[in-house]
Every structure is written in C-alpha cells, then in structure tokens.
Amino acid sequence: MRQGDPSTEAELNARFRTRISPHIRKLIAELPGEEARRLLLQFEPDARELGEVPGYSDDPLHEEDSDIHPFPDVVRKYASKILYLTTDECPVYCRYCTRKRKTLLSRGHKATDLPLIADYLSQRPEIGEVIFSGGDPLMLPQADLLSRAKFFLQLPTIHFMRFHTRAVTANPRLISDGLLNGLEVLRQEHPQKNIAFVLHVNTAAEISDAAHNAIAGLRKLGVPLYAQTVLLRGVNDSAEILSALCTTLLDCGVQPYYLHQLDRVTGAAHFEVGEEAGRSIYRQLALTVPPYMLPRYVKDSKQGKYPLV
C-alpha cells in the first residue's frame, strides 16, 4: 500500500480485492528500483482508486448488457466467438482490470452448466471460437480446466479455442507439466482444432526466467502464442519500454498482438494515457521496431475493438 493512512487502507481493502502472487513479490524484490516500481504499481492498492471520476464505471465495455450477455459467465460481443468467463480468481489482481466487476469487485463467481452453453452454441453455428478468460482460466483446478476445454473442443461447431492468461508472467508454475501434458492430449484428440494462448504482459521485466521456461513449455506444444498489453501511465508509457517488451516477447517466441488503450474502469483513471499521447508513443514505437513486431494499438468497446492509429 502506497500510503500510510489506515482509514484509506481499510477503505481500499473493503472495496477491492488485492492479490500479488509470491512470484511477482519475489520478482519485485530482485528487480532494480524503477522496474520494480513499474511492476508494483500494477497490483498495489492506491488511494487514487477511491476517487469518483466522471466517465469511469464498473462495466466500461457494457458487457453486462443483456443483448451480449446470454449467461452470467458468457459474453458475446462478436458474431463468431464467445468469451467464457471461467472464474473470478487471478494470480494477481491488476488495478486497471477491465473486468474489475468480475475480479477485484467480485462478490462470487456464478458458473453456468456447460450443457446449457453447449445448447446455446448448437443453435448458433456461426460461433466457432471459445475464448477462456476470467479472471484467469489457469486458476481453475487443472483437471477442471482441461475437462472444460475438452467439452468445448468436442462440439462440432467449435474450431478455435483461446486461453487468455496472466499466469505465465504472474505465476509461471501454473504452466505445469501436468497442464502441458493435458493440452498435448487435447491437441492429439482434436488435431483439426486450433488452440492458442494470449499472454497478458506489460513490461519486459515481467518475463522472468521462470516465465521464459513456461513459454518454452507452451512453444513445445506448437500452439501459437500472442501477447496483449495495456498502455498504462507510469508503467509502460514510453516507446522505449514498449520496444523492450516487443523485443523480449519476440526473442522468446511470443507475437506482440494488441496494445490496448485503457478501458475506463472504476478506480483506474490515474493509469490513463490520453489517446493523443498514446498515438504519439505508438508512432515512436513504430519507428523503433520492425513492423512484424508492432502490436496493434486498439480501443475496446461494446461492439468490439477498433484501431486508434
């Protein structure tokens, strides 16, 4: 906690869940001062979160709207895919989390029976992809995660599966041999289906030796690995920091994919980099890294992502 005021700390603790994994705590202790500060800022409660800021809300992407929210744990923003919210647990709770209502503000996760979701999908064969998100799907017990993945892969209309996770950088031990073996079995059972991982990572310093090993394990499976990053004031708001991230990602076999503009979620206003400043940083980044290393700078909305440059 950045401030010593006990009543502020109590208010923050009462309002938002906080979690910093032992792996991240160790990394913070090992990193040089500035890199450690940029990492800690992402997860540490901050008094600025308590201020009400116009335009910021618990559900900035309107994912709770009934027209795109068929089940408590399913969001359908795109015709061809669903977001499957598996849990409200994460290895760390990022203070800027878009889905804060399901994570830092969660009052419990409600899981829908899988056959009900399968029935919904069977009536909409245009949906070909299930994206496991959360929270972090890798926080599910391993057998549960694998069995849910198997369930969806067995559906004839599902051809693509994606796992969005922070675990590779925040708790690499979750990429265990058991998980890798289970994923390998799923790939062998469903060779015609595509499984990909999208890693959430904001600075190069997050790619520790253990994260490198976790990535290497996933690469051995032959699954495509992509990275998404949120542009955050005080964390990665410079072309130099983003360039180091893109280079490190590519060095370990992960394709930089999205650079997200901050979603205006409750308590995150102090992280916002204005769109003009963001474009300027992005243009500098584009001059620094080869085009194949350049993520797309995008803003999310209820209707989906759109490019900012």
Helices (H), the chain: 6-15, 22-30, 33-40, 114-122, 142-153, 167-170, 177-189, 209-221, 239-251, 275-288
Q: Which of 21, 86, 87, 103 binds ligand SF4 (CB under 6 A)?
A: 103
Please report how close the Cβ of residue 167 comes to ligand SF4 at its closest, in angstroms.
Answer: 8
Q: Which is nearer to ligand SF4, 129 or 263 (CB)?
A: 263
Q: Is 90 in the site for ligand SF4 (CB under 6 A)?
A: yes
Tell me if residue 248 falls in helix, strand or coil: helix
Cβ contacts of residue 67 below 8 Å, gap of 6+? none
Q: Which is nearer to ligand SF4, 87 or 248 (CB)?
A: 87
Q: Which residue from 247, 200, 195, 248 is spatially nearest to 222, judged by alpha carbons?
A: 195
Q: Which is nearer to ligand SF4, 166 or 233 (CB)?
A: 166
Please report how close the Cβ of residue 156 comes to ligand SF4 at its closest, in angstroms.
Answer: 30
Q: Is 162 in the site for ligand SF4 (CB under 6 A)?
A: no
Residue showing tokens 């992280």? 271
For 11, 20, 43, 45, 190, the CA distances from 1, given in Å and listed in that order, are 12, 12, 10, 5, 46
Q: Is 135 in the site for ligand SF4 (CB under 6 A)?
A: yes
Do 142 and 149 form a contact (C-beta atoms < 8 A)?
no
Among the listed ranges 66-74, 85-93, 219-227, 265-273, the one in contact with ligand SF4 (CB under 6 A) is: 85-93
Please report how close the Cβ of residue 239 comes to ligand SF4 at its closest, in angstroms.
Answer: 23
Q: Which of 23, 77, 81, 99 binds ligand SF4 (CB under 6 A)?
A: 99
Among the listed ranges 71-79, 87-95, 123-131, 256-264, the one in contact with ligand SF4 (CB under 6 A) is: 87-95
Tokens for 160? 């693509």
Please report how close the Cβ of residue 91 comes to ligand SF4 at its closest, in angstroms.
Answer: 7
Residues 183-222, mask of contacts with ligand SF4 (x by CB under 6 A): -----------------x----------------------
What letter represents residue 207's amino acid? Answer: I
Q: Which is nearer to ligand SF4, 140 or 239 (CB)?
A: 140
> For the stretch 10-24, what's the b/e string if a residue is b when 16 or more beta carbons lie within 10 angstroms of its beta carbon?
eebeeebbeebbebb
Do 161 and 129 form a contact (C-beta atoms < 8 A)?
yes
> Distance from CA of residue 36 to its chain's centroid?
20
Q: Is 231 in the site for ligand SF4 (CB under 6 A)?
A: no
- For binding to ligand SF4 (CB under 6 A), which residues are involved? 90, 92-94, 97, 99, 103, 134-136, 166, 200
